[in-house]
């Protein structure tokens, strides 16, 4: 055994010496080319590290634990928000009555169809945009994404995953839980796990469950709130505008 190990060590040293001699020869021939090759390899390694989806968790003020995912340089919640109070411990009213919901001018939240079965489901809660506007929905060190945050996510997925801008949504959608695909097959390669929670509409009604996911941004444009939409009919990541801020949409938070 000792002689076997000795032979292996000798062989390893010989290989290292051969590689060292080869590198010295190459450097004498074209040092700029060798340096460029090394830098290129380092750059490729860095790019691969960035596209690797790093997982983690974050906890809200009520103790709910959310999975997180790193996509490029951003860290996102991989689950919809389900908190019932702001990060200063102030309660967010749970509004079940549709008439009262559409007349709210302050923050409100609800469950899909006011059904407690959705309490700890993947769908989370719906929030109106007035709750977003407070700036107090997200856990400390996190925030509701701006339109710029959403755009950065879209561009990263477009540039680093297959299909370009035409397939961004497929890489963000959870694989199961959709009523239909209409030829757009989600793969969730990013780990974002966008779910079809549906929405609460302009009459206080509930709709689009298992067909689409609607996500607020914190950005306003010409008095309208900007949103993002993952739709069973679309493989693109849709950007939209909500003139009525009483709509109830999902929230995904992003790390500061």
- Band (137; pLDDT cuts 50, 70, 90): very high
Rounded Cα gap, residues 231 and 169, in angstroms: 8
The average pLDDT across 129-139 equals 98
Task: For the chain, give the number of residues.
Answer: 256
The token pair at 199 is 């929405």
Rounded Cα gap, residues 190 and 171, in angstroms: 6
- Token pair 């109830």 in the structure block, residue: 248
Rounded Cα gap, residues 43 and 46, in angstroms: 5
List, for residues 32-71, the tens digit of each pLDDT value. Answer: 544 444 444 334 333 444 545 799 999 999 999 999 999 9
Rounded Cα gap, residues 194 and 178, in angstroms: 11
List, for residues 9-43, the tens digit of each pLDDT value. Answer: 444 455 556 555 655 665 565 555 444 444 443 34
Q: Tell me if 242 sits within 8 A of 133, measured CB to CB.
A: no
Candidates 37, 98, 89, 118; CA nearest to 246 is 98
The per-residue pLDDT for 121 is 75
List, for residues 174-215, the tens digit of each pLDDT value. Answer: 999 998 877 778 999 999 999 999 999 999 999 999 999 999
The per-residue pLDDT for 8 is 38
The pTM of this model reads 0.80
pLDDT for residue 249 is more than 70: yes
When the pLDDT of each residue in the chain is averaged and rounded to a whole number, the result is: 85
E strands present in 46-204: 55-59, 65-71, 74-77, 109-110, 126-127, 142-143, 199-200
Q: Tell me if 213 sits within 8 A of 197, measured CB to CB.
A: yes
- Band (116; pLDDT cuts 50, 70, 90): confident
């Amino acid at each position: 055994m000792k002689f076997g190990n000795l032979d292996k060590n000798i062989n390893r040293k010989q290989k290292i010496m051969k590689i060292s001699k080869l590198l010295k020869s190459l450097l004498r021939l074209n040092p700029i080319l060798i340096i460029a090759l090394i830098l290129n390899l380092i750059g490729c390694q860095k790019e691969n590290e960035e596209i690797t989806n790093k997982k983690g968790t974050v906890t809200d003020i009520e103790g709910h634990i959310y999975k997180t995912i790193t996509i490029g340089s951003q860290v996102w919640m991989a689950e919809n928000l389900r908190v019932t109070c702001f990060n200063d411990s102030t309660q967010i009213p749970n509004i079940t009555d549709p008439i009262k919901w559409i007349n709210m001018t302050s923050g409100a939240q609800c469950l899909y169809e006011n059904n407690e079965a959705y309490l700890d489901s993947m769908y989370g809660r719906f929030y109106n945009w007035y709750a977003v506007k407070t700036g107090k929905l997200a856990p400390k060190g996190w925030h509701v994404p701006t339109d710029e945050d959403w755009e950065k996510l879209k561009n990263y997925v477009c540039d680093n995953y297959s299909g370009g801008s035409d397939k961004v949504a497929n890489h963000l959608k959870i694989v199961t839980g959709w009523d239909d695909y209409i030829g757009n097959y989600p793969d969730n390669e990013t780990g974002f796990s966008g779910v079809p929670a549906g929405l609460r509409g302009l009459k206080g009604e509930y709709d689009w469950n298992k067909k689409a996911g609607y996500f607020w941004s914190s950005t306003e444009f010409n008095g309208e709130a900007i949103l993002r939409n993952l739709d069973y009919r679309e493989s693109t990541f849709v950007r939209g505008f909500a003139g009525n801020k009483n709509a109830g949409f999902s929230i995904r938070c992003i790390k500061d």
